[in-house]
Chains A and B, each alone.
Chain A
Amino acid sequence: MSNHDPHAAHSHGPITRPGDMPEHDHHEHAGHAAGHPADHGAEHGGIGKYLLVFLALCGLTTMSFLTYSSYWPWRDEPHVGWAFMMAVSCTKAMLVVLFFMHVFSEANWKYVLTIPAAMMAIFLALMLVPDIGMRNRMVSQERALHMARSSDVLLMEQAAEAKVLEEPAQH
């Protein structure tokens, strides 16, 4: 893997097609061998960039936490909140992957590994939908009797509001 070699791990992919390696690449490699530790920070944008990404991540976390606060205007419409949170999460994931994991400044060959893996995972989830996701569309009568339903939540809420037991205790 590329990461075992600190000289090659950044900025240029370790695997470059032999045909299209540009001229200036050699120069830069030579420069690295000479003044290698010092110019790392400059090349990656330095600590300032990481702090910026960190602030962005904190801001995004606050944004998804906003859906929980009373300022969130779509409390009655949970799907809006879900879509918003997933968008925020994907943005955060992109920031972490691109900057912290240095994918932004590395070769593209990693995608060869990660994208098929991610796609297979998505297909796996999709293949669960008919048997698991729709398991409650057709259930036996016995199962329907014993499974929890939203009416049970309603019943418990009614029981809480009725306050059957609290009145005698006050007398």
Chain B
Amino acid sequence: MWLFLSTEIMFFSALLGSYVVLRFGAAVWPKPHHVHLSEPIGAFNTFVLICSSVTIVLALEAARANRAGLAKLWMLLTLLLGTLFLGVKAYEYQAKFAHGIYPQAPHGRIYEKPDLYYGSAVRARLGEPAIIDKLKELDDTPAEQLTPEQVAARGRLQQIRKMVASPEQQAFDLAVVADQVMPLPTEAAAGSHGGVDSGSGHGGHSSGLNDIFPWLRLPAVIPGGNMWASTYFLLTGFHAVHVIVGLIVFTILLGYKLGPAQAGKIENAGLYWHFVDLVWIFLFPLLYLF
């Protein structure tokens, strides 16, 4: 088991090392709130994994003390906590995908900087037949049928459509477009400093045109966002795969009578699970707080 764990140490520390090297070598790296990462959710997931580490240790102790029922209960609790971790992770992934943050095209809609390529990508999206129809429909909708927020957003969208079509657009205009499509939230707007209200001020998570009109799905600008997405999904993805393997092992173990005879198996499963916890202990600050 320890031989296996040492190969896992190499695997993950190579990934983590590459992440650190890539991150500090990058000219610009997005802040956590630029990429819709929520620190409280990450901290909660850390807490969940720590709890599951304790429950698996308690399962081992109970099995050694020949209390099979108690061991099974702890094991079940570990399984549930691991599933909860995965559920929270899936929710977080969903939040990224909803903002077009994917590691790669065609799903990825991240542009590195508000340059002419970005402008032409926005223009191309606005020129798609389905979007043209939708825009026409939006323009013809009476203001009474829309919320005041949507009316204001419609006005901004109309100006943006003129801006990207204009032959005299400047870099600053494109930055304005990018800011309207998906603003880079400031720390205050992202609900940092312990606050929870987000989206109230400018730059909040839900004030972008993409959020107000979800069908729009315009390209967005996150400087450094592509490299961030690649490393984030690779690291958390491999970690999630390890969590899934752990859950499968726990499910198999739940089929046994967890007495002293199975203590060796539980110990090995536990060692593996502690390692998964260990990796997250480093992933959480590196990804969420740096």
Contacts and interface: CB of A to CB of B under 8 A. Distances in A.
Interface class of chain A by DSSP = helix
Contact of A93 (B57, B224, B270, B278): B278
A57 B50 CA distance: 7
B289 A69 contact: no
B85 to A, nearest CB: 14
Contacts, number: 228
B196 interface: no
Given A61-B50, A96-B281, A121-B17, A50 B57 contact: yes
A3 B28 contact: no
B252 interface: no
A140 interface: no
Contacts of B113: 146-149, 152
Nearest to B157: A165
Nearest to A99: B57
Contacts of A162: 176
Interface residues of B, number: 81
B103 interface: no
Interface string B16-57: 111011101111100000000001000100110011011001
B264 A37 contact: no
Given A133-B24, A134-B25, A128 B18 contact: yes
B208 to A, nearest CB: 11
B246 interface: no
B176 A69 contact: no
Interface in A99-122: 100-102, 110, 113-114, 116-118, 120-122
A64 B39 CA distance: 11
A159 B1 contact: no
B82 to A, nearest CB: 15
A152 B114 contact: yes
A128 B17 contact: yes
Interface in B248-290: 260, 263-264, 267-268, 270-271, 274-275, 277-278, 281-282, 284-285, 289-290
A89 interface: yes
A96 B277 contact: yes
Contact of A65 (B27, B43, B260): B43
Contacts of A159: 114, 172, 175-176, 178-179
17 contacts: A36-B260, A37-B64, A65-B43, A67-B289, A78-B290, A89-B281, A93-B282, A97-B274, A97-B278, A126-B17, A128-B21, A146-B117, A148-B224, A158-B175, A162-B176, A165-B155, A168-B159
B112 interface: yes
A125 B18 contact: yes
Give me the 9 closest cross-chain CB pairs, A-B, nearest first: A125-B17, A121-B13, A148-B223, A159-B175, A148-B112, A70-B193, A133-B25, A85-B285, A117-B6
Interface centre among B156, B176, B277 (most CB of A within 10 A): B176
